Structure 1
Amino acid sequence: MSARAPLVIVGASYAGTQLAATARELGFDAPIILLGEEGHAPYQRPPLSKGLLTGKTSVDALALRGPGFFADQAIDLQLGRRAKALDAAARTLTLDDDSTLGYGWLALATGARCRALPVPGADLDGIYNLRTLDDALRISDALAHTTRACVIGGGFIGLEVASALAARGASVTVVESQPRLLARSFPPLMSDYLAGAHRQRGVEVVLGRGVRALSGDAGRIRHVELDDGSRIACDMVVLGIGVQPNIELALEAGIACDNGILTDALGRTSAPQVMAVGDVANTLLPAVPGCPLRLRLESIQAANDGARAAASALAGSPQPFEGVPWFWSDQHKLKLQMAGLPMPGDQAVVRGEMQSDRFSLFYLRGGVLVAAHSVNRPAEHMLSRKLIAAGARIDPQQLQDESVDLKSTRSSP
């Protein structure tokens, strides 16, 4: 192994682990130190709000890499270590035990944390966040004593948790402050479909209502009090009101931040030899008409792809990732798969019957396919990613007509 100063990676989830693995794969031969704040070895997060809560996925099945991977790749995985200060000029990192690490390159994969709900009663027992494995285990244990649950927040995590709790036999209410579900990600047509899908499966969905307070007795949650004076009885609350990026380490070191740590397409920040990858990174995107110049994408795909791009820069063969963003969500027996970045004003075309729970919603911008949302149609999702990447122009009537083979419609702008 080289005697060069090490690559130190702060954060051992998807992005940090992928960065270490790909750097080795591409021939990066300096020492690699991977710091994880949790005591668990790197694990998969999507099953936390899906299979783990329903009991379909075991903790043993969550490992991101096999037990011998890190040693085999000469990656020094250190768990239970938290970085508390960064000196970018001296290229040193101070840990929570006041020890210091020098680095040749530093990668911040610090992720994000759950937003707090700033209302009275937020400290009662029976109120949970879901971000980590320990969070999921606490919720799963509490379900044995839960009959009525309230999920505050109608985003992806909130809706996945709601479906998992309902599958475990709880009576579930979702409270969303916006007038529709997933308002930042979905057009009204998809929002309305999802609200109906949850209601049909026994989940009560309350829209356009804020939470005024959480109340209880004997120190335990009993009611969620809404801003219209109504109350929802419950013995468990799960908060799903979004996350905020963990930028403090970078911000205090003088690194440019704005809704995350600002990076170029290779993960490089404003500080020399410092990268940022994963949920904490606000990354420069390929130029696409009608889309933002940069975005902080909270997805496994974005974390892995961003880490691979950063690793290519470390290995001396920089290759920015320019693929189509994609994401998935499992809710009840619905597999939602999303590709591309739809924007207000895009033409929406439905293929299939929405009430059948098997359809795709395609988005055209200037006649070009730019995004697609599919429900229980994985083959169309995979094809849509290729069509979007190709900048395909497809006649809306062909998109809508299920007798037309979409593979035959591919064309360039």
Structure 2
Amino acid sequence: MTTSRFVIAGGGLAAAKLAEALRANDFDGTVTLVSAEEQLPYERPPLSKEHLLGKKALSDFTVNPAQWYLDHHIEVMLGTTVTGLDRSTKTIALPNATTLPYDKLALATGSRPRLLRLPGADAEGVYVLRTIGESDALLGMLGSARRLAIIGAGWIGLEVTAAARAAGVEVTVLEAESVPLRAALGAEMGEVFADLHRAHGVDLRLGVKVGEITTADGRATGVRLDDGTHIEADAVLVAVGARPNIELAADAGLAVEGGVLVDESLATSDPDIVAVGDIADQQHPVLGQRIRVEHWANALNQPAVAALTMLGKPAVYDRLPYFFTDQYDLGMEYTGYVGPKQRARVVVRGDLGKREFVAYWLDSGNRVLAGMNVNVWDVTDKIKQLILSAEAVDPDQL
């Protein structure tokens, strides 16, 4: 009797949860997890939050200890990057010129920071944030630096800003858009975060373009803008978004666009391969459109469905997108989805000034597309119900 071999390419939260789900569904074949990182799978949100604040160590957010993988007979290959995928022979290529066969394959390759093609971008003292090693390096820098320049006012940039201010570091944030988080939240809600950071002493410069990272003796000394303005800094963080790692899938001929195209069950264009997490561009059964979401909740929840799909069982991933942030004394949860081409108006209930409110995004028919609760708790389920009902609401009664 031949034992089935399931392979998971990736070493983050999604990969760990997929291994868990396969064993939870009584799969008794071989499971191999191939991770490019040297550490066991861990969660990434703490890298820009609690870990950077010195409140959590890696062991606190490692998904499972080493013994768990031994107890559940999961083969873990750390420090190993998958270099190729041959669908005709159903093998993946490894760096040592060997191959690993699979019967079913899960792609959980995640994403990587976008890099800037600027003079000085490769200098010492220029940071990005994606891995525990990069978070450790930032944490060490915050203990010694006096001034930090951050290029990008997205989630990572602003969370690191909050941690840096907590460490007493002067921070200048440089953002090309007119408000922070414009793409994610729109102008009105972006202003909430702009006001929050200014209130904590952040030099927030909006609508600016970076020309170069200045250096001396190979080390970053600040940032020069296109208009000639120079911002002095002891270190620079580049936080301008992420790129999904879809090259492995694309080179193997799988259907890709902005991500790896998957159906409602998270199956790719090859029925023996699924994709989860940051790379999965899913046809969402509830939202009626393709979405790709680079947030923790997808990595946490998609693997349960992907495991069933790998096992040949019917499954549909229909959870609404969800993400959260913690910055200073502001805690926020966001549920739902507003596409880049969708027009929506924002209705706010609560106190924007005190930063205690719920914001709703409504379409032209007054249907709720998304909701965001800021320092208001235990309302996520109610927001979900409003979205899933797909019924028009009276904005005055929200």
2:313 counterpart (317, 321, 327): 317
CA distance in 2, matches of 1:54, 1:220: 25
CA distance in 2, matches of 1:361, 1:272: 40
CA distance in 2, matches of 1:386, 1:127: 44
CA distance in 2, matches of 1:186, 1:174: 18
Q: Does 1:362 align with 2:366?
A: no
Query: How do 1:150-229 and structure 2 match up within 5 A?
Result: 150-229=149-228
Give the corresponding residue for 1:268.
Answer: 267
Give the corresponding residue for 1:15.
Answer: 14
8 A Cα contact 2:143 2:167, kept in partner: no
Query: How do 1:111-150 and structure 2 match up within 5 A?
Result: 111-150=110-149
Q: Find the residue that maps to 2:198 and give its secondary structure.
A: helix
Q: Find the residue that maps to 2:51 and give its secondary structure.
A: helix
How many residues are aligned here? 395
Report the alpha carbon displacement of residue 387 of structure 1 after superposing the two structures with TM.
2.8
Report the alpha carbon displacement of residue 392 of structure 1 after superposing the two structures with TM.
5.1
8 A Cα contact 2:345 2:362, kept in partner: yes
Query: How do 1:221-240 and structure 2 match up within 5 A?
Result: 221-240=220-239
Give the corresponding residue for 2:284.
Answer: 285
CA distance in 2, matches of 1:371, 1:135: 33
Give the corresponding residue for 2:350.
Answer: 352
Give the corresponding residue for 2:254.
Answer: 255
Question: Could you list the runs of 5+ residues in structure 2 that have no partner in the other structure?
Answer: none
Runs of 4+ in structure 1 over 3 Å off: 390-394
Alignment-mate amino acid for residue 351 of structure 2: E
CA distance in 2, matches of 1:305, 1:37: 22
Q: Does 1:301 align with 2:300?
A: no
Alignment-mate amino acid for residue 106 of structure 1: L
CA distance in 1, matches of 2:178, 2:43: 32
CA distance in 2, matches of 1:70, 1:385: 35
8 A Cα contact 2:38 2:78, kept in partner: yes
RMSD: 1.5
Report the alpha carbon displacement of residue 219 of structure 1 after superposing the two structures with TM.
1.4
TM, length-normalised to structure 1? 0.92
Q: Does 1:87 align with 2:86?
A: yes
Give the corresponding residue for 1:3.
Answer: 2
CA distance in 2, matches of 1:236, 1:63: 28
Greater mean deviation of Cα atoms: 379-388 or 40-49? 379-388
Greater mean deviation of Cα atoms: 166-175 or 307-316? 307-316
Q: Does 1:337 align with 2:323?
A: no
Q: Find the residue that maps to 2:7 and give its secondary structure.
A: strand
Question: Could you list the runs of 5+ residues in structure 1 that have no partner in the other structure?
Answer: 400-413
Q: Find the residue that maps to 1:194 and give its secondary structure.
A: helix
Report the alpha carbon displacement of residue 332 of structure 1 after superposing the two structures with TM.
1.3
Query: How do 1:18-33 and structure 2 match up within 5 A?
Result: 18-33=17-32
CA distance in 2, matches of 1:391, 1:28: 38
8 A Cα contact 2:266 2:317, kept in partner: no
CA distance in 2, matches of 1:288, 1:55: 39
8 A Cα contact 2:38 2:79, kept in partner: yes
